[in-house]
Chain A
Amino acid sequence: MPVPHTAFAPEATTNQALRAFLHGLPGVDEVGARARAQDLSTRSVKTTAKAQAIDLAISMVDLTTLEGADTPGKVRALCAKAAGPDPTDRTVPRVGAVCVYSDMVATAVDALRGTGIGVASVATAFPSGRAPMDAKLADTRRAVADGAGEIDMVIDRGAFLSGDYLKVYEEIAAVKEACGTAHLKVILETGELVTYDNVRRASHLAIRAGGDFVKTSTGKVSPAATLPVTLVMLEAVRDHHAATGRRVGVKPAGGIRTTKDAIRNLVLVNEVAGPDWLTPDLFRIGASSLLNDLLMQRTRLTTGTYPGPDYYTLD
C-alpha cells in the first residue's frame, strides 16, 4: 500500500524554499527509530529465505576498494574476485558493481570487460569533499569518460550543517549533469550529520537535486551505515515515491561485514520501503569483506557443513 507524501517540493529553488521544505519534514525520534530498527533486526531469516537473501545480497554488493594504497594490481585482483567470487561455484550471482577511486576507473573497466559488471567511481574529492567545484566536476567527468557507469559523490557536509542547503543542492545538480547517463549516488556521510533529522533532510535534499541513490557513508567516518540510518533513508525514498512516483535507491556502505548484517538490511528494505526495492537497481551494499562471509554462508546452506576462510579468496 502506498504511503502519502510528507511534503511538497518547493516550486522555486532558493535557499529559503529549501529550508522551508526540509525543516517542514516530520522529525525523527532517535529512540523510536533505533527501536524500530532493533525490532526488525530480530526477524529470523532461515533456510530457503536465507538462501534467497544471500544471493540477493551478493547481487547488491558494490565490491569496494578505496585506499590510498590502491594500485592497478590491487584493483585488478578485486575485479577478478568480482567476476568470479567463488571459482568453484558458477551459480553464485555476480556482484552489483566494483567501486574504486576515479584514477582507477580505466583499470577496472579494462579488467571487467566482458563480465557485465559495471564500474562505480567515487568522485568530487572523496571522502572529504573539500575541493573547488571545478575540480569536483573535472573528477566526475574524467571518471565517466573512463567508463564509470556510476558516480558516488560526497555532499558538502560543511555547507549542509551551516544551513547552506542551496549550495549542497546546486553541487549535486551540477554533478548529476556532469554524469550524463551515469547513475549518481549521493553520499551523505551520515556520521558527520549526526542526527536522524539531518539524515532525513539530507536524503530529501539529495533526492530532490537529482540523485539516483542516496548513500550513507564514505566508510572513512564512524559510525557509518547503521541500521537506523538506513531505516531513515529508506523512509525518505519511500515517501518520495509516494509523492512523485519516482523511485530512488539506497546504498548503505561501511561497517556491513557479515551475512547477518546484510540480511538485516534486506529486512529493512522489505518492511520499510517495500519489496519493490529488493533489486540491485534500487539497493546496494558498499562492502569488501562482506562478500566472503556471504559466500561462506552460502556454502553452509548448500552443503550443510561449516566452511573455513582458507577456502575463499582474499580479494
Chain B
Amino acid sequence: MAERRNTRRAAKGAAEAGGGTGGPAPARLAVRKTYKLYLGGAFPRSESGRSYPVTSDSGRHLANASLASRKDARDAVSAARKAFGGWSTRTAYNRGQILYRVAEVLEGRRDQFTAQAVAAQGLSRAEADRVVSAAVDRWVYYAGWTDKVAQVLGGANPVSGPYYNHSAPEPTGVVAVLAPQNAPLLGLTSVVAPVIATGNTAVVVTSETAPLAAIDLAEVLATSDLPGGVVNLLTGRVPELGPHLAAHADVNALDLTGAGELAAEFERAAATTLTRVLRPGPGADGGEEAWLDPDPGTARMTPFLETKTVWHPVGI
C-alpha cells in the first residue's frame, strides 16, 4: 500500500498530463472515465451503443461521449415524466435545500470543473475559475428562488363577489431543454436550474461539442439528493434528438436555446401539441461569458410555469 501511494505521488504529474507523450512510462496508468448518459438517476450507455469522440478546443482527443439516440430521448422523457409527480409536489423549501446541496457538492469539486473547462474549452485558469464560481452561485441563486417564485408571481385576486380567488404558478411538467452549445457548464446550469427550481423535470440535450462538463455535473446532481429522473442529460446531436423532443406529445415545454438554425422548425413541430416554447434569446450562441449576469431574474422560470387560479365561495 505504502509503496503504491509513494509511486502514485511520484507519477502524479505524468498521469494528469494524460501520459503517452513520450518520456518515461508512468508507474501507474491513469483510470479514465467513461462518459455515459444520465437518465432516470442512472448512468447508462446509449441504447444505440454509439459514442463519439470529444476533443478539446484545440483538437486534442479528450474522451468518447455516448451518442444519444431517439430512443434514449424517449426513455429520458419517460424518466422525467415519472419523476415529475414526486418532484413537483416536494415542498418548495425542500427543492431549495436540494438545489443548495448541488451548489455545495459542486463547490467541493471546483478543481475538477475548472480543469475540465481549461482542457475542453481552452479557457485560461482565471476564466475557468470565474465560470465555475458563477455556476456554483447560479445553483445557490435558484435554490433561493424555489420558495419565493409563487409569492412573486402569485397572489390573491380581488374579484367582485363573495369568492376567495387565488392564483399561483405551477410547473408545466416535462421540459425539453436544448442547452447552449458554446456554454457547457455555466450556460447549462443557467438553463437547467430554473427549470427544476420551479418543480419541472428536464430532458436536456447538452452541448454537442463540449458534453463532458454536463456528465461531470450529472455526478454532482446524482450525489445531491436530487431524485433520479428530475434531470436527464443526453449527450448527442440536436439535429438528431431535437425533432423527437419537439414533437413528443408528453413534453410540455421546449427550451430552444441551443437549437441554432433549427429553432423555427422545432417550434413548428411543438405547435402540434401546443408545447410551450422558449425561443433562443440574445446570447444563445455565446460562450460562458454570455451567462455571467448574476441576477437573471424570473425570465427563465416563467416560461415553464402555468398559472392556476382557484375560486372558492366565502360564506358560513
Which residues does A use to contact B, with CB under 8 Å? 29-32, 34, 194-195
Q: How far is the CB of B164 from chain A (nearest CB, A)?
A: 10
Decide if B313 is an interface residue (CB 8 Å cutoff): yes
Q: Select B314's contact among A31, A194, A195, beta carbons within 8 Å.
A: A31
Most chain B beta-carbon neighbours within 10 Å: one of A29, A31, A34:
A31
Q: Chain B 277-316 against A: per-residue CB contact (8 Å), 1 yes, 0 no?
A: 0000000000000000000000000000000000001111
The answer for the CA separation of A34 and B316 in the assembled complex, in Å, is 12
Decide if B44 is an interface residue (CB 8 Å cutoff): no
- Which B residue sits closest to A32, measured CB to CB? B313
Most chain A beta-carbon neighbours within 10 Å: one of B162, B163, B315:
B315
Q: Is the interface of A mostly helix, strand, loop or mixed?
A: helix
- Which A residue sits closest to B316, measured CB to CB? A195
The answer for the CA separation of A30 and B163 in the assembled complex, in Å, is 11
Q: Which of B254-274 contact A (CB under 8 A)?
A: none
Q: How far is the CB of B310 from chain A (nearest CB, A)?
A: 15
- Which A residue sits closest to B163, measured CB to CB? A31
The answer to whether B316 touches A194 (Cβ under 8 A) is: yes
A29-B315, A30-B313, A31-B314 known, 12 other contacts, Cβ within 8 Å: A29-B313, A30-B315, A30-B316, A31-B162, A31-B163, A31-B313, A31-B315, A32-B313, A34-B162, A34-B315, A194-B316, A195-B316
The answer for the CA separation of A108 and B313 in the assembled complex, in Å, is 48
A/B interface sample: 12 pairs, CB < 8 A = A29-B313, A29-B315, A30-B313, A30-B315, A31-B162, A31-B163, A31-B313, A31-B314, A32-B313, A34-B162, A34-B315, A195-B316
Q: How far is the CB of B165 from chain A (nearest CB, A)?
A: 12
The answer for the CA separation of A30 and B316 in the assembled complex, in Å, is 6
Q: How far is the CB of A129 from chain B (nearest CB, A)?
A: 23
The answer for the CA separation of A29 and B314 in the assembled complex, in Å, is 9
- Which B residue sits closest to A28, measured CB to CB? B315
Residues of A within 8 A of B163 (CB): 31
The answer for the CA separation of A194 and B316 in the assembled complex, in Å, is 9
Residues of B within 8 A of A30 (CB): 313, 315-316
Residues of B within 8 A of A32 (CB): 313
The 7 A-B pairs at the shortest CB distance, nearest first, are namely A30-B315, A31-B313, A31-B315, A31-B162, A195-B316, A30-B316, A29-B313
